[in-house]
């Protein structure tokens, strides 16, 4: 092959080695693309490193706003938690990376794109399905899936070509970070019986070390989108960063799961997602106040479908558009404020209010302000219980002894 390839470049060992490897094995000029999705890094240093190890060009794109507004907040409105536990931080960033790879490939007139994912994970699927959807003509090269090198061999390769091996390699974990969360894999975590060591965590204090007095936070939502913390309006990026600090300092947001990967592997995953877990909880409690019982129940089914779809790399699909439209519609009255208590690893909703609240004090109270007509209950029970009574009489439902 000849021409250019756009490589999604993190600055880590694998993608640095990939720059050299793509040149040697495919004879391609490498344009390194680094995407800022809120993973705090020195992007100038990453750019310099890409050029130093042989890229012809290094591009950094700040996509934090885009990531928050088009990926994170819609997933929050959807209540998206894969298998009920994982807020999908890594998964949500992949279609964005796919899209930007395509955009830059077009600008550069590249014939191919490339990424550093291995052949065992979900990320290769998410990126490649996205690229194929948007630009089926582009060739996709996945060096780490092709080269078959062990960690040691990769390091040796790097040393041979004078590619700096980061000191952070002493970290025994494989880590992916963005605004919505931090995913931690490998090392001792691969034994599902072993409790994650404290050094696996970076964003959350150990609940043992967390303050002895609880923290309180109020989150304002407008149609399912958070816009204020403690009455102070702020943009999404800042809001997530602020909340992440706050909740993390109280040890909130640690997740330890055994997860079903799309490629058929069960894997042990550790996540830190302080802001995500607080926002998801706050959002759900506001919905409990502003949606009907039936809307809530239907939305829970949609949430499962939506989370699976994101996890499985199907972002650029019509089904996604359909689900997103349904979710948007459900958020019309999800406006209000939620108050939460953060204390030693726990996050608890302690208050909620909304101008569209369906909670009626008059209906709920047992005090003198009661407006509920208790005498109407008798007729309701008569009719509600009719089929129950009928069946019990005819078929004897409810006998305790075995027939």
Annotation says 170 is catalytic: no
For the bound state, the minimum distance from the C-beta of residue 190 to ligand ARG, rounded and expressed in Å, comes to 13
For the bound state, the minimum distance from the C-beta of residue 280 to ligand ARG, rounded and expressed in Å, comes to 16
Catalytic residue selected from 62, 103, 171, 174: 174
> Under the criterion CB under 6 A, does residue 174 sit at the interface with ligand ARG?
yes
Q: Are 274 and 251 in contact (CB under 8 A)?
A: no
Catalytic residue selected from 10, 14, 176, 330: 14
- Interaction mask 175-214, ligand ARG, x per CB under 6 A: -x------x-x-----------------------------
For the bound state, the minimum distance from the C-beta of residue 171 to ligand ARG, rounded and expressed in Å, comes to 12
SS3 content of the chain, % helix, strand, coil (to 5): 45, 20, 35
Catalytic residue selected from 20, 123, 244, 354: 123
For the bound state, the minimum distance from the C-beta of residue 133 to ligand ARG, rounded and expressed in Å, comes to 19
Tokens standing for residue 238: 């800042």
The torsion angles phi and psi of 112, rounded to 5 degrees, stand at: -145, 160
> Under the criterion CB under 6 A, does residue 91 sit at the interface with ligand ARG?
yes
How many residues interact with ligand ARG (rule CB under 6 A)?
10
Beta carbons within 10 angstroms of residue 3's beta carbon: 14
**Residue 361: its H or E element:** helix 361-364
- Interaction mask 243-282, ligand ARG, x per CB under 6 A: ----------------x---------x-------------
Beta carbons within 10 angstroms of residue 356's beta carbon: 13
> Under the criterion CB under 6 A, does residue 79 sit at the interface with ligand ARG?
no
Closer residue to ligand ARG, CB minimum distance, 108 or 259? 259
Tokens standing for residue 366: 């047992």
For the bound state, the minimum distance from the C-beta of residue 118 to ligand ARG, rounded and expressed in Å, comes to 8
Annotation says 123 is catalytic: yes
At 150 the three-state DSSP class reads coil
Alpha helices by DSSP H, listed for 118-207, are 123-134, 143-146, 151-160
At 41 the three-state DSSP class reads coil
Alpha helices by DSSP H, listed for 150-272, are 151-160, 236-249
Closer residue to ligand ARG, CB minimum distance, 86 or 221? 86
For the bound state, the minimum distance from the C-beta of residue 90 to ligand ARG, rounded and expressed in Å, comes to 4
Q: Are 38 and 288 in contact (CB under 8 A)?
A: no
Annotation says 94 is catalytic: yes
The torsion angles phi and psi of 6, rounded to 5 degrees, stand at: -100, 120
Cα 305 from Cα 73, distance rounded (Å) = 17
Residue with tokens 């191919």: 112
Closer residue to ligand ARG, CB minimum distance, 176 or 272? 176
Least Cα distance to 64 among 56, 55, 73 occurs for 73
Catalytic residue selected from 20, 94, 126, 268: 94
- Interaction mask 109-128, ligand ARG, x per CB under 6 A: -------------xx-----
For the bound state, the minimum distance from the C-beta of residue 271 to ligand ARG, rounded and expressed in Å, comes to 8
Least Cα distance to 83 among 261, 209, 233, 346 occurs for 261
Annotation says 14 is catalytic: yes
- Residues annotated as catalytic (active site), given as ranges: 14, 94, 123, 174
**Which residues sit at the interface with ligand ARG, rule CB under 6 A?**
90-91, 122-123, 174, 176, 183, 185, 259, 269
């Amino acid at each position: 092959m000849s021409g250019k390839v756009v490589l999604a470049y993190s600055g880590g060992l694998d993608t640095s080695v990939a720059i050299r490897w793509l040149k040697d094995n495919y004879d391609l000029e490498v344009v390194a693309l680094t995407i800022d999705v809120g993973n705090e890094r020195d992007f100038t240093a990453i750019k310099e490193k890409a050029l130093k190890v042989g890229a012809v060009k290094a591009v950094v794109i700040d996509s934090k706003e885009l990531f928050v507004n088009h990926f994170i907040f819609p997933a929050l409105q959807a209540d998206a938690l894969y298998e009920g536990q994982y807020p999908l931080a890594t998964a949500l960033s992949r279609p964005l990376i796919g899209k930007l790879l395509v955009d830059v490939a077009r600008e550069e007139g590249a014939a191919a794109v490339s990424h550093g994912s291995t052949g065992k994970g979900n990320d290769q699927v998410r990126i490649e399905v996205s690229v194929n959807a948007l630009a089926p003509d582009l060739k996709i090269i996945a060096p780490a899936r092709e080269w078959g090198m062990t960690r040691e061999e990769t390091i040796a390769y790097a040393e041979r070509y004078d590619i700096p091996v980061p000191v952070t390699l002493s970290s025994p974990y494989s880590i992916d970070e963005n605004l919505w969360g931090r995913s931690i894999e490998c090392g001792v975590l691969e034994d599902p019986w072993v409790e994650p060591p404290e050094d696996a965590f970076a964003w959350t204090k150990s609940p043992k070390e967390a303050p002895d007095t609880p923290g309180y936070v109020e989150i304002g939502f407008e149609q399912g989108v958070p816009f204020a913390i403690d009455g102070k309006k702020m943009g999404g990026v800042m809001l997530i960063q602020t909340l992440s600090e706050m909740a993390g300092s109280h040890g909130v947001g640690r997740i330890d799961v055994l997860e079903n990967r799309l490629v058929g592997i069960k894997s042990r995953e550790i996540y830190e997602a302080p802001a995500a877990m607080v926002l998801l909880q706050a959002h759900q409690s506001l919905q409990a106040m502003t949606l009907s019982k039936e809307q809530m129940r239907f939305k829970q089914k949609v949430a499962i479908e939506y989370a699976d779809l994101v996890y499985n790399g199907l972002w650029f699909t019509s089904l996604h558009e359909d689900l997103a439209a349904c979710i948007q519609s459900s958020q019309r009255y999800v406006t209000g404020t939620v108050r939460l208590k953060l204390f030693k690893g726990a996050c608890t909703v302690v208050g909620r209010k909304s101008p569209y609240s369906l909670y009626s004090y008059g209906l709920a109270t047992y005090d003198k302000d009661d407006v509920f007509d208790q005498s109407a209950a008798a007729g309701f029970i008569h009719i509600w219980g009719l089929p129950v009574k009928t069946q019990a009489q005819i078929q004897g439902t409810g006998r305790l002894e075995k027939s």
